[in-house]
Structure 1
Amino acid sequence: MTKLVVAKFGGSAIGPDGMLIPEIINRINNLKKDSKVIAVFSAPLTTHNGKTRSLTDVILEQGKNAENGQSPSLDIVKSTYDKILQLVNPENMDACKNTIDLNLKKASKALDDALNAKEFVDEVRSRALAFSGEILMSHVMNYVLKSNGIKSDSVDFDDWPIITDNNIESTNFLASKSRENMDKIALLVEQNEVVTMGGFIGKTIKNVTTTYERGGSDRTAADLGILFHKIYETSIDFEKDSAVVSADPKIVESNLSQVLQLSYNEARLAGMFGMKILDPIAIKEIVENGVDIPIIITNMNDPEKTTTIKRILDEQKGHPIKIVTGKENCAIFRIETNLIQKLLTSLEKDKRYSEFVMLSPFTKDGIEFSRILFLDGDYVKRNEKYLLGFDSLATITYNRGVITLIGDEMWRVQQVASRTSAKIGDAGLNILNMDAQEETSRIIIVVEDADDNIRKAIKAIHQEISKINFI
């Protein structure tokens, strides 16, 4: 069976104003030696007033201006693509310019619609982001690849294979409908060495433009893997500035160990709890669709350094605790246990939201209460009315941070709970909740989200891990 690599290049891989695109070309040339390639692109970064920003944030800012009655501007966006255009050869220059102008005209129309309506939401927001960011970048990269002698083509939005539900701004992948719409991209893959496509963007059956939440390009790569895994021997490759290490290098600066393999479960938990490995919903969608695809996290600067994410791991010989990570801005929702099932069903079926974990229940005055740890406090704030609709006497506590240890075989580590909690105490932090479950091989420690509490706790625990014996 022919091999196919779905390679995702995020904004940091592209670099400010396309600075790292020559490295992307090198990586694609290497990947296509023994595989067909679908290259999924995020919106590029730009440099403005001395600061590096994503074009996504630039457009969101212009949309906010439009809501407030200020005329939006695409000058920063246009300047960014003009710089990337310099990587296109004369033969492809005019076509690329026309593509940039056409897409920015669509984005400008969406922003004008927002200005007239004084509202930057739903499809207007999605169109502005799509045609200034991911979709446009995929077309520009197609011309860049052609200019470097690579046989490539790009996916037009009319032929988009990612079909989603009607949740416009935080949409959900519909695998069966997407399979019905993949004839064009399948033909492009068959006829070319590389096919480029924008991440983050979907569309409904009725052609309404939709977006995933931030980080959604990871989901696009996973969705394409789901669609193609029966046609090609498919793998997914996330090109980053580092493979996975045992903690965030921005927090723990020394004694980091490289993580060679992660299970789907380990990678999803790490992503949920703050490690920027990949969007955990991407793995959730792979699992829900019954697919087994290897996911490779590749260090673009040193492609020999990789982390492989698999459903079933090879025999593990290293320390069972692979990662120490943490998440700020969490919230705890307390509700009577006899009322929680309706909420959980609604979160799954109606909201299709899963970025939470269940903590151990407790009993007070003869009544059992359940606790849900939401890993995004802003989501809870936006949906307070919805959540409290299931129990008006439920309580919500904000400003919580959580630290967790990742490792499916953590049960093999001796005294792990006592020693990690002791290290947090040594760091001067007060543990508000500690939840350890042998069945899920999970330890969750909740502290107050204040100052640099989370960073201090991660450093303290990471330092202790290597000293703890394991079976």
Structure 2
Amino acid sequence: MKKTLAVAKFGGGLLDIEGKRIINILQKIRELKDKHDIGPIVVFSAPMGITDKLIQIGNSYAQSSPLSLNPIFEVYYNLAKLYVKDGYYNKTLKVIDNLKTLTLDALNSINKRFDGNVKAKILTLGGELAMSAIMDNILKSNGFDSCRISLSDWPIVTDDSFDDASPNYELSKKRRNILMDCLEKEKIISLAGFLGVTSDGLETILGRGGSDLSAVFISCLLKSRFQTETLLFKDVPIQSADPKVIPDQLTDHITALTYNEAHKASMMGMKIVQNPAIAMARRFLQPLLIVPFDCPRKYSIIQAKPIGGDIVKCITGKFGAAILSMNDEKSRSFEDSLRIWEKRNDFLDLGAETLETGVRIRDFLFMDSDFLKKNEEKLKGFDENLKIDYGLGVVTLIGDKMKDSPGVASLAISSISGINIKRGIFAPHTSQIIIVVDEKNVNATVAAIHAKKTEMNKSTH
């Protein structure tokens, strides 16, 4: 019988620069160690706000007006002072000093562009690697037998897309013995999230929110040897809508989502799990536990098997959308370029229509209008007459059971009779109903539809 192992990720929202939750994190780690046969492996993000500040510093070096790195590392020196005990304190200071030196060396190597391997190196040296190193020493000084994995043995091997890399399972599998050796010695592993390396050892990053993917991938990598449980600790539970958007309504705790529902919800504005992490879990059929840190009983499970009877699980709202319209004949190469070369999947084909002039136009709904704004002139290389309608928002009803439940769309539309609908995609067979409105109407649309959620979920009873 396989030994049980937990892989737990603690995100930046739980790691403020003062480390207020570190003692509680240690308690969670102790509980996981007591519950399972081996481990756990603990994945850490950078402290809240650190990645954004490192990006700002990196850009300042690219513009030859460098900002100081000292405020970043003062956070780590302060955390060490507060939480590292006994003889580990001086060792921790040396580790932080070394990471600071390496980060400065990388910053000084920037030549007009803050990107590629240099960017990955700076963000992880000054972020996740520093945090996981400090947590390793905090664990040791609190009586845990813990260890870190060196960069030369890094277990997540990726492609060469330095800013948004994808893990390679077969290449990474050749390095998993490093992890297994530590686990068989009954050690806890403190692992930096977000970080990957190419096959020849250059640092990469797994995209924004990539620490989720780190934890999920490590779970999948070890799944054939251990019975792995993946826990992603978050600030709040998964709910039927954002409570900030509907302060006058009660939200429902969502106990379970299928991989498909989670993917749709994440893409459409609910901050659950990074989409590549969901895709990785789905590929290996690895269940994910989304655990609210302060209320762990309100956890949610993401898995293949549907649980519960709700037709509409959640209603999401997303700002910053846009509709791009272009010549239909020219749209195929455009779409292929985005999906294959740019690896973008955050847009939907809304179909084509023939105008009175005889010209056939195809529309695409983009979830990230900033991408279009930054690349509008480049995109006109596909069609110089393309048009973009900015200032839109997207409200989405999500639930796999909608495909078998007629009437949901009509209830949703009837609830927002006073709001101008720019476009509607009523395709419950895809587990989602999408309503495009002006950005200013997103919150009102979510609130109005959510008020009808109970009625929608009675339509099959």
For Structure 1 versus Structure 2, the TM-score category normalised by the shorter chain is: over 0.9
Q: Matched residue pairs, number? A: 453
CA distance in 2, matches of 1:221, 1:371: 37
Paired residue for 1:299, among 288, 292, 295?
A: 292
Residues in 2 aligned to 1:417 and 1:436: alpha-carbon distance in whole angstroms: 7
What do residues 33-90 of structure 1 show as CA deviations (whole Å, max 9, x unaligned)?
2322111111013xxxxxxxx1111111212222232233122112211221021111
Instruction: Tell me which residue corresponds to 1:22.
Output: 23
Aligned with 2:410: secondary structure?
A: helix
Give the Cα separation in 2 of the matches to 1:368 and 1:221.
46
Q: Relative to structure 1, is the Cα distance of residues 152 and 448 closer, same or farther in structure 2, using a 3 angstrom cutoff?
A: same
- Matched with 2:388 is 396
Given the superposition, is the C-alpha separation of residues 190 and 355 from structure 1 closer, same or farther in structure 2, using an over 3 Å criterion?
Answer: farther
Paired position in structure 2 for 1:257: 252
CA apart distance, 1:398:
2.1
* Correspondence list, 1:77-156, <5 A: 77-85=72-80, 86-114=82-110, 117-156=111-150
Query: CA–CA distance in 2 between the matches of 1:134 and 1:236?
Result: 19
Distance 1:280 1:313 in 2: 19
Q: Is the 8 A contact 1:334 1:370 kept in 2?
A: yes
Q: Which amino acid aligns with 1:217?
A: S
SS at match of 2:78: helix
Say if 2:176 and 2:222, in contact at 8 Å, map to a contact too: no
SS at match of 1:255: coil
Match of 2:427 among 419, 437, 448: 437
Q: Greater CA deviation, 194-203 or 278-287?
A: 278-287
Say if 1:310 and 1:250 are closer, same or farther in 2 by CA, change over 3 A: same
Does residue 335 in structure 1 map to residue 336 in structure 2? Answer: no
CA 1:140–1:463: 2 relative to 1, 3 Å: same
Please tell me whether residue 42 in structure 1 is matched to residue 42 in structure 2: no
Aligned equivalent of 2:194, options 187, 193, 200: 200
Say whether residues 1:350 and 2:341 are aligned partners.
yes
Separation (CA, whole Å) in 2 of partners of 1:215 and 1:18: 20
Q: Where does residue 204 of structure 2 map in the other structure?
A: 210
Q: Runs of 5+ in structure 2 lacking a partner?
A: none
The Cα offsets for residues 313-372 of structure 1, whole Å up to 9 and x where unpaired, read as 24x23x211111011111222334444443333333322221222324333244543322
Shift in Å at residue 213 of structure 1? Answer: 2.2
Amino acid paired to 1:43 = A
State the identity %.
Answer: 31
> Structure 2 CA distance, aligned partners of 1:311 and 1:16?
37
Aligned mates of 1:284, 1:343 — CA distance in 2: 24
Structure 1 position 409 matched with structure 2 position 401: yes
Would you say 1:460 and 2:439 are equivalent positions? no
Write the distance in 2 (CA, Å) between the matches of 1:303 and 1:68.
45
* CA shift for structure 1 position 386: 5.0
Q: TM-score, normalised by structure 1?
A: 0.91
- Tell me, in whole angstroms, the C-alpha distance in 1 between the residues paired with 2:240 and 2:175: 40
Between the aligned partners of 1:259 and 1:390, the Cα distance in structure 2 is: 43
Equivalent residues of 1:14, 1:24 under 8 A apart? no
Distance between the aligned counterparts of 2:280 and 2:286, measured in 1? 12
CA apart distance, 1:443: 0.6
Paired with 1:190 and 1:358, the residues of 2 have a C-alpha distance of 49
CA–CA distance in structure 1, aligned partners of residues 222 and 286 of structure 2? 10
Match of 2:365 among 362, 373, 384: 373
Shift of the alpha carbon at 1:387? 3.8
Consecutive unaligned residues of structure 1, counting only runs of 5 or more, are: 46-53
Query: Does the CA-based 8 Å contact 1:72-1:112 persist in structure 2?
Result: no
Per mean C-alpha deviation after superposition, the further-off stretch among 178-187 and 277-286 is 178-187
* Residue matched to 1:470: 459
* TM-score, normalised relative to structure 2: 0.93
Letter in 2 for 1:104: K
1:48 aligns with: none
Alpha-carbon deviation of 1:149? 1.4
2:177 matched to 1:183?
yes
